[in-house]
Amino acid sequence: MAITFHSSVSGLQAQSKRLAVSADNVANMSTAGTPGVTDGPDAAYAPKEVIQTTTAQGGVKAETRPVQPASVPVYAPQNPLADDEGVVEIPNVSLEQEFVNQILAKRAYQANVAVIKTQDEMLGSLMDLDS
């Protein structure tokens, strides 16, 4: 039973990270930057994604990695960060994909909570049998 609990808790943590990364991507998706600048205030936001892998102990590990390519060029000559050709870079974030990621994270979180509740009920029933 401890393995089930460990797996569910690691799943909750992974989905929390997945939701936080997605929310960060959505919040910064309109942050433009100067083409070629990768660091500092003139750089475009670098979006991230969460990669989940199973562990030998029966859980899941969530790691963040940068999205590749991190940004895409957009013609916006009115933007003060535009280069000589009027191009800025915006983060490579798809609002649709982030919406799907958030729904999937929510459902996976709910499933892990349901497993923990079921395990709690089973342990409670087992304790009742011992009395």
Rounded distance between C-alpha atoms, residue 113 and residue 107, angstroms: 10
Looking at residue 38, what is its pLDDT?
Answer: 87
Provide the token pair at 4: 């089930």
User: Do 110 and 15 contact (CB within 8 A), yes or no?
Assistant: no
Reply yes or no on whether the pLDDT at 3 is more than 80: no
Asked if 110 and 116 touch (Cβ cutoff 8 Å), the reply is: no
pLDDT tens for each residue of 35-94: 989 889 899 999 999 999 999 888 899 999 999 999 999 999 999 999 999 999 999 999
Task: Provide the total of helices (H) and of strands (E) in the chain, helices listed first.
Answer: 2, 4
Q: pTM (2 decimals)? A: 0.85
What are the backbone angles phi and psi of residue 76, rounded to the nearest 5°? -150, 75
What is the distance between the alpha carbons of residues 111 and 42, in angstroms, rounded to a whole number? 41
The predicted-structure confidence for 85-119, as pLDDT tens digits, reads as follows 999 999 999 999 999 999 999 999 999 999 999 88
**74/77 Cα distance (integer angstroms):** 9
